[in-house]
């Protein structure tokens, strides 16, 4: 079985891997699509927290079940599935309270344990979502869009609120889409005008702000001086995450969706004066996958234009470096098997 291994920083190898063996409670899935995300790009460049080498990357997965035993989910050989890549323990305080997305012993496919950049993988049946009504592309991007859906659900965003989403990458776009889905007025912020234009056309945001051009003045103007009641930062950039404290309304919420390998500091008197709520948003739950699935089935999510670059499995290693370059204008790259 072929697989692509990130042997060390800046080096992939196409290798032969042992075939997965099926065990009780798991299924063998033939991988058909692997989405590439910021986690993969950061891991390749050595900037990903919680990461060790060598590692098989890949956690945005679509595939077909090849082998499976009796199961309560009713899944069968031939079913198309999306993979929930967050392997939780089911026993810790987070899991007992339904917060499987932040399990104390979390092992994420492609990060802590080997992922799906290979022809077949064994996955717990509990972590498979049947997607026979979706395309393979839609199935693969259920995971990144679920991260945005989870952040919006965690924030408690209400219809009619004003939300600012900082970062026009694939995760930020998902936050924008589901903030709009929740009925909020959405403002997108980025430093790239092309990303902002894409936010308007793809996520249908109401307003855009370039963070390099007097963002505080612009946000005050757009909100009548109130500022957004919910701010999502999906940049994974320490400077942006620090500046975001200044964009939140009094009594508002700041949600960190992006992850940065750094410390974040803030001015406590300003934090207390506004009685801000600071939240971290990590991964997603099965409920979030179900919400995204429903949105896709209703035609509310345009996956075709969300995926901007493609590669065959054989050509991925040669193309990966180019996806790192800003001039490539990647939103979502997809590997096809």
Question: Are 276 and 163 members of one domain?
Answer: yes
227 DSSP assignment = -
Question: Are 24 and 125 members of one domain?
Answer: yes
Q: Please count the structural domains in the chain.
A: 2
| Gap between the Cα atoms of 20 and 3, Å rounded | 12
Q: Which of 132, 139, 185 is nearest to 158 (CA)?
A: 185
Angle at which helix 193-203 crosses helix 170-181, to 10 degrees, equals 40
pLDDT reading at 43 higher than 90: no
Question: What pLDDT is stored for residue 325 in this prediction?
Answer: 85
The helix or strand, by DSSP H or E, that contains position 2, with its residue range, turns out to be strand 2-8
Question: What pLDDT is stored for residue 260 in this prediction?
Answer: 87
Question: What pLDDT is stored for residue 212 in this prediction?
Answer: 96
Mean pLDDT of 12-29: 94
Question: What pLDDT is stored for residue 310 in this prediction?
Answer: 96
For position 51, which CATH number holds? Answer: 3.90.180.10
- For the chain, state the CA radius of gyration: 20
Q: What is the pLDDT of residues 183-225, one digit of tens each?
A: 999 999 999 999 999 999 999 999 999 999 999 999 999 999 9
Between 236 and 46, the higher pLDDT residue: 236
Region at 156 (left for phi over 0; alpha for psi -120 to 50; beta for the rest): left
b/e per residue, 92-103, with b = 16+ CB within 10 A?
Answer: bebbeeebbbbb
Q: What is the pLDDT of residues 114-156, one digit of tens each?
A: 999 999 999 999 999 999 999 999 999 999 999 999 999 999 9
The first and second tokens of residue 124, run together, are 């717990």
pTM: 0.94
Within a domain: residue 132?
yes
pLDDT reading at 49 higher than 80: no
Question: What pLDDT is stored for residue 326 in this prediction?
Answer: 85
> In which band, very low, low, confident or very high, does the pLDDT at 51 lie, cut at 50, 70 and 90?
confident
Mean pLDDT of 281-305: 94
Question: What pLDDT is stored for residue 327 in this prediction?
Answer: 87
Domain boundary among 280, 298, 323: 280
Question: Are 132 and 171 members of one domain?
Answer: no
Within a domain: residue 300?
no
> In which band, very low, low, confident or very high, does the pLDDT at 314 lie, cut at 50, 70 and 90?
very high
* Domain hosting residue 249, numbered range: 148-280
> In which band, very low, low, confident or very high, does the pLDDT at 17 lie, cut at 50, 70 and 90?
very high
Question: What pLDDT is stored for residue 317 in this prediction?
Answer: 94
Between 52 and 141, the higher pLDDT residue: 141
251 DSSP assignment = T
Within a domain: residue 91?
yes
Q: What is the mean pLDDT of the chain?
A: 95
Between 260 and 226, the higher pLDDT residue: 226
Question: Are 20 and 65 members of one domain?
Answer: yes
């Amino acid at each position: 079985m072929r697989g692509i291994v990130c042997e060390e920083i800046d080096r992939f190898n196409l290798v032969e891997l042992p075939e997965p063996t099926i065990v009780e409670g798991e299924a063998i899935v033939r991988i058909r699509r692997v989405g590439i995300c910021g986690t993969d790009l950061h891991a390749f460049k050595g900037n990903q927290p919680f990461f060790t080498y060598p590692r098989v990357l890949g956690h945005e997965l679509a595939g077909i079940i090849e082998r499976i035993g009796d199961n309560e989910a009713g899944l069968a050989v031939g079913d198309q599935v999306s993979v929930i890549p967050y392997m939780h323990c089911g026993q810790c305080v987070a899991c007992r309270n339904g917060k499987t997305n932040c399990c104390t012993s979390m092992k994420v496919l492609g990060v802590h344990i080997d992922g799906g950049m290979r022809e077949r993988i064994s996955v717990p049946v509990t972590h498979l979502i049947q997607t026979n009504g979706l395309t393979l592309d839609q199935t693969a991007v259920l995971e990144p869009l679920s991260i945005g859906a989870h952040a919006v659900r965690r924030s408690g965003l209400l219809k009619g609120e004003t939300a600012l989403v900082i970062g026009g990458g694939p995760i930020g776009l998902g936050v924008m889409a589901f903030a709009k889905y929740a009925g909020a007025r959405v403002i997108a912020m980025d430093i790239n005008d092309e990303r902002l234009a894409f936010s308007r056309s793809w996520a249908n945001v109401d307003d855009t702000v370039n963070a390099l051009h007097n963002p505080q003045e612009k946000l005050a103007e757009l909100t009548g001086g109130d500022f957004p009641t919910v701010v999502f930062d999906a940049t994974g950039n320490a400077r942006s995450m620090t500046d975001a404290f200044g964009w939140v309304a009094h009594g508002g919420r700041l949600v960190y969706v992006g992850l940065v390998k750094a410390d974040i500091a803030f001015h406590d008197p300003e934090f207390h004066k506004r009685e801000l709520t600071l939240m971290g948003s990590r991964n997603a739950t099965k409920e979030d996958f179900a919400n995204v699935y429903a949105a896709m089935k209703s035609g509310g999510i345009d996956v075709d234009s969300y995926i901007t670059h493609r590669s065959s499995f054989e050509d991925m290693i040669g193309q990966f470096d180019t996806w790192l370059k800003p001039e490539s204008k990647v939103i979502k790259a997809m590997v096809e098997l």
